[in-house]
Amino acid sequence: MPIEVNGKTYETDEEGYLANLSEWTPEIGEAMAKEEGTELTDAHWEVINFLREYYEEYQIAPAVRVLTKAIGKKLGKDKGNSKYLYELFPYGPGKQACKYAGLPKPTGCV
């Protein structure tokens, strides 16, 4: 099911993850979130941007503790935990935030 943003069509996999990582734009992330009923705020973007930076360096989404630590450093200790991340991304920060960030879905026993 491809996604259409600003008149351009982008290919996604069965679960709506962007097929081609390099095609990603913030507008695509916003459109994906909107489809799932989420309005992306600055708080969401802090996470999404970190995911993209981390992915660029390591070719994988960050582990949950890497993510919570980084967010805690940036936004304060009270936000450096998965409870905060689940409030932002109720379907799981790993999977939902990765989707909006245009990254592949983490798979395995997670």
Partner 1 sequence: MADFETPELKEIPEIPKLKEGAMAHSKPYIAKAEFQEELGFPGELLDDWKEKAIEKIGDLKSRYRSVQVFLDICVKCGACTDKCHYFLGTQDPKNMPVARQDLLRKVYRRYYTFAGKFFGKLGIPEFVGAAELTKEVLDDWYSYYHQCSQCRRCSVFCPYGIDTAEISMAAREIMDSVGVGQKYCNEILGKVMKIGNNLGLPEPALADTLEGLEEEVFDDTGVPVKYPLDVKGADILLVTPSADFFAEPHVDGLIGYGKVFHEAGVSWTMSSYASEAGNFGMFIGSYETMRRAALRIRKAAKDLGVKRIVFGECGHAWRVAYSFLNTLAGPFDFLDPNYPVPQHICEFTYDLIQEGKLKFDKSENDHMTLTFHDSCNVARGSRMGSKMNGQFEIPRAVIKAVCNNYVDMPADTIKESTFCCGGGGGLLTDDLMEIRVKGALPRMEGYKTVVEDNGVTNLAAICAICKSQFTKVLPYYGFGMTDIVSVHQLVSEAIILSDAPSEEAEDSDDSSE
Residues with catalytic roles: 109
Task: Name the residues that contact partner 1, by CB under 8 A.
Answer: 14-15, 57-60, 62-66, 69, 82, 86, 94-95, 106-110
Q: Which residue from 92, 105, 101 is spatially nearest to 26, judged by alpha carbons?
A: 101
Shortest distance in whole angstroms from residue 54 CB to partner 1: 8
Shortest distance in whole angstroms from residue 94 CB to partner 1: 7
Nearer to partner 1, 26 or 104 (CB): 104
CA-derived radius of gyration, the chain: 13
Grouping H, G, I as helix, E, B as strand and the rest as coil, residue 25 is coil
Distinct helix (H) and strand (E) counts, the chain: 5, 2
Nearer to partner 1, 33 or 70 (CB): 70
